[in-house]
Structure 1
Amino acid sequence: MTRSKYEDGRVTDVSTRTAQIVIEPVSGKRGREAFVDLGRAFSDRLPHFVPQIRAEQIELVDPDKNPFFGHARVQLFIARAGGKGVGRISAHIDELALAMPADQGFGPGTGFFGYFDAEDEDVARALLAAAEAWLAGEGMTRALGPISLSIWEEPGLLVRGSDHAPMIMMGHHPAHYAAWIEAAGYARAKTLFTYDLDISKPFPPLVQRIVQSGHKNARINVRRVRKADWDSEVAIILGILNDAWSDNWGFVPFTPEEVAYAGKKLRQIIKEELNMIAEVDGRPVAFMLTFPDVNDALAKIRGKLFPLGWIHMLRWLRFPKGAGMRVPLMGVLRELHNSRLASQLAFMMIEAIRVESTTKFGSVRGELGWVLEDNQGMVAIADTIQSKINREYAIYAKRLD
């Protein structure tokens, strides 16, 4: 069993087998850049991986730019052997997650690890031990991960579906990481699914009847998101999200700063006709967001905007012809949960988006997720529209006391 000690800002593995592995905490601009670049080097080895824009990846671990740091403590680590970077990991504590009820997955004593990459199992064991030592030193009694960094960013380890490229804002990991994490004493705490969907053909007759019935109901209005009123629309969407998801496993509310940050980041890829707000009696009660898969464009420019990649990106952003479509988030106010109206609104929004995706952009494929394994409502919707699970992400937990 690997044991680590955290002294003078450095974690040194003290087991015999991995005595040459040193885990160094990193900070500052250069440290963060090295952390990101090491992760990019690992990702570049993976089949089907799509390189992301480096500056955006660095921004996510920058405490001056990512508002997640406003309610979190974060320590980044790089593993070195013989002076060479052989792995990385983050250890972080979200104060908002600590305040959540324990029966919703997080709660008091729960810390996290994320951004996990390792050259081999010995490095993996040393990195996890280092993250655990830091979390325990901060008073945590449980480690959960990988979650990088926020639950709203990249939750879970890909354990199924690495045989095809990830869509926008989705993690992509080698299959053997799961065995290394489990060997370090972690057990699966939660499973997340994504669902693949052929959107080139109409939904089953049952769904069509439900949608048509909704259109005949004068109380219901499903409308496009209005970019001209973007700030207020974002506030509506995330207000519904904070209410709709508040009882879900792993829920952490968005702060006002995170709402503003998300709105600014998403605006450039938002197409009004692909994002819907449902109103009942004039009141917004549900939403569905859909993002064209920017990975289609990033794959062609290898994640590099310069010297000419930015031209291709601008063209793609203006008109993402044939792009795959991902639905990362939807929500219905809690007061409507478990009602027929909730599922009707969901079907109406997804049908409106399907029609716009196919007729305007020529899209043929959609993806829903992440969906919690025990979210019966969303699983039922995914089954009814005849989508199939195509990716599985695992979140692991381990007691530290």
Structure 2
Amino acid sequence: MIAIEKVDTAKRLKQFIDLPFRLYADDPQWVAPLRSDMKRILSPQHNPFFREAQIEHFLALDDQGQAQGRVSVCIHAAYNLRFGDEHVFFGFFEVAPDPAVTRALFDAVSKWARARGKSRLLGPYSYTSTQDAALLLENIDGRPPTLLQTYNPLWYADALKQAGFHLAFTFSTYGVDVEQYHARRKASRSEKVMPGSRFSVRSATRSDLRSNLEEIRCLFNSAFAENYEVAPISKASFKFQIDSVKTFIDLEGIKLIELDGRAVAFFLILPDLNQILSRLKGHFGLFDLLKLNRYKRGVTGGVIALIGADPSVQGSGLGRLIGDEIVRYAEPRFQRVDTMWIDDRNPSSYVLARNVGMRRTKRYGVFGLNLDQTPV
């Protein structure tokens, strides 16, 4: 027998956080998050996104009271305002290999959604499309995930299909090793391909970091205003997400591209913190704090965490400048650079990745379920 319980006690919250640690105990590809970070993300008191959305969490428990599955549900008002009021996101999806557990979880999710007048499930989004998103479909390069890349067993896709979901659309990630783009760096310089350009590039500064990050947030919202599936990020939620990695931000890795003195594009590269997390196994103790600088020096990969351009300058050759600046920054610092997810329906982004010499590394899917076509 499978019982579905809301996560409304400290015990249930611990079970929700601990479940993937048990499910992935023998999987060397999985990178454990810090339990303390998970508590903050799942906390209405700490995470400002709870003020922007209706959120619930469910656990699937066996007859011994042990967790066998988990899922979150979320109604994000800003997303529904842009894309239609019928949507409910599911996320934080983890499940044991038992179809009965998956069915029980999504029966509960469907009832929750219908009770609020919603008719379409979409995900996994934890909690929304600008946070941890999508289900791993193909691990093309066979590597563990980098920072901002999700991970799951490949059979999760079949589990969702058996529960009635269909593949709505796909994302991909891209990556390149240093030796592969070293020659390209010498052959492709922005000052050669864009003579007389009115574009200029500046890095973030310590004194103006807050305003620099606000410029990036506004540019992100502008760049993706007409794109699929992306709702605007609020100031509070953006700050919450950035604060979790602020210690590791290199100001030179934040680039703002200006046209006649106006910021029109940006990118943010972070060190691949998964290389540190893989050492910590979910806990960050006193001895880890003492070793933190050594951990930082041992990170050999970078991740393009955010990138975008105002629609008014897209198609102006700016992509070549952005690609060159990414290479210029990354080459002396990292052995490898990867991207977070790129929507396969957005050709300008993956053309930019390929122009930098990147190859597709992983393929992800977002799944949908129309509740008005399924039995109550």
TM-score, scaled relative to structure 1: 0.87
Q: In structure 2, give the amino acid aligned to 1:72.
A: A
Q: What corresponds to 2:117 in structure 1?
A: 139
1:100 to 82, 98, 113: 82
Q: Which residue of 1 aligns with 2:215?
A: 236
The letter for the 2-side match of 1:353 is Y
Letter in 2 for 1:221: S
Aligned residue in 1 for 2:302: 325
- Residue 254 of structure 1 deviates from its aligned partner by 1.0
Instruction: Trace 1:33-44 onto structure 2 (pairs within 5 A).
Output: 33-44=14-25
State the 1:243 CA deviation: 0.1
How many pairs does the alignment contain?
369
1:242-281 deviation per Cα after TM superposition (whole angstroms, max 9, x unaligned) = 0001111111111121133234223211012222111121
- CA distance in structure 2 between the aligned counterparts of 1:354 and 1:206, rounded to whole angstroms: 10
Aligned partners of 1:25 and 1:77 also within 8 Å? yes
| Contact 1:286–1:345 (8 Å) recurs in 2 | no
* CA displacement, residues 272-294 of structure 1 (integer Å, 9 cap, x when unaligned): 22221111212111111111011
Task: Tell me the CA shift for residue 65 of structure 1.
Answer: 0.9
Tell me if structure 2 keeps the 8 A contact 1:240–1:331.
yes
Which of these residues, 21, 32, 37, is aligned with residue 13 of structure 2? 32
- Structure 1, residues 337-392: CA drift from partner, whole Å, max 9, x if none? 2332x21332232122223xxx2x3x211112211001110121122222111111
Q: Which runs of 5+ in 2 are unaligned?
A: none
Deviations 1:277-336 (A, max 9, x none): 11121211111111101111222232321242222234334xx34521111210001111
Partner Cα separation in structure 2 for residue 115 and residue 40 of structure 1: 13
Per-residue CA distance 1:217-245 (angstroms, 9 max, x = gap): 36222122223311101101111000001
Change (3 A) 1:307 1:44: farther
2:102 and 2:146 map into 1 onto residues whose CA distance is: 26
Corresponding residue SS for 2:244:
helix
1:86-130 Cα distance to aligned partner (Å, 9 max, x none)? 1111111111111013xxxxx210101111111122211211221
- How do 1:165-244 and structure 2 match up within 5 A? 165-202=144-181, 208-209=187-188, 211-213=190-192, 216-217=195-196, 219-244=198-223
Among 30, 46, 67, the alignment partner of 1:85 is 67
TM-score, length basis structure 2: 0.92
Shift of 1:152: 1.7
- Confirm or deny: 8 A CA contact 2:188 2:324 kept in the other structure: no
Q: Contact 1:91–1:111 (CA<8 Å) still a contact in 2? A: yes
Residue of structure 1 in register with 2:32 after alignment: 51
Asked if structure 2 preserves the Cα contact closer than 8 Å seen for 1:222 and 1:348, the reply is: no
CA 1:32–1:247: 2 relative to 1, 3 Å: same
CA contact (8 A) 1:166 1:172 kept: yes
Question: Secondary structure, in 3 states, of the residue corresponding to 1:123?
Answer: helix
Q: CA RMSD in A?
A: 2.0
Q: Following the alignment from structure 1 to structure 2, what is the Cα–Cα distance between the partners of residues 59 and 205? A: 42
Q: 1:207–1:385: 8 Å Cα contact kept in structure 2?
A: no
Preserved contact between residue 125 and residue 180 of structure 1 (Cα < 8 Å): no
Partner of 2:368: 397
Residue-by-residue CA offset, 1:20-66 (whole Å, 9 max, x unaligned): 11111112444323211123322334231112210101111111111
Matches of 2:179 and 2:185 in 1, distance apart? 17
Contact 1:144 1:397 in 2 (8 A): yes
Distance across 2 between alignment mates of 1:65 and 1:281: 40
Counterpart of 2:268 in structure 1 is 289
CA displacement at 1:160 relative to structure 2? 1.2
Cα distance change, pair 215–313 in 1 and its aligned pair in 2 (3 A): farther
Greater RCO (Cα-Cα under 8 Å, separation 6 or more): 2
Equivalent of 1:349 in 310, 325, 348 = 325
d(CA) in 1 for partners of 2:293, 2:185: 40
The 10-residue stretch of structure 1 (277-286 or 298-307) with the greater mean CA deviation from structure 2: 298-307
Return the match for 2:92 from 115, 120, 125.
115
Letter of the structure 2 residue corresponding to residue 40 of structure 1:
F
**Identity across the alignment (%):** 25
Question: Alignment partner for residue 334 of structure 1, among 311, 321, 331?
Answer: 311
Q: Which amino acid is 1:167 matched to? A: T
Q: Is the 8 A contact 2:185 2:324 kept in 1?
A: no
The answer to whether the 8 A contact 1:290-1:326 is kept is yes
Deviation at 1:210, TM superposition (A): 5.4
Q: Is the 8 A contact 1:279 1:285 kept in 2?
A: yes
Amino acid at match of 2:20: G
Alignment equivalent of 2:139, drawn from 161, 167, 171: 161
Q: Measure the CA separation in 1 of the matches of 2:101 and 2:125.
A: 19
User: Would you say 1:387 and 2:361 are equivalent positions?
Assistant: no
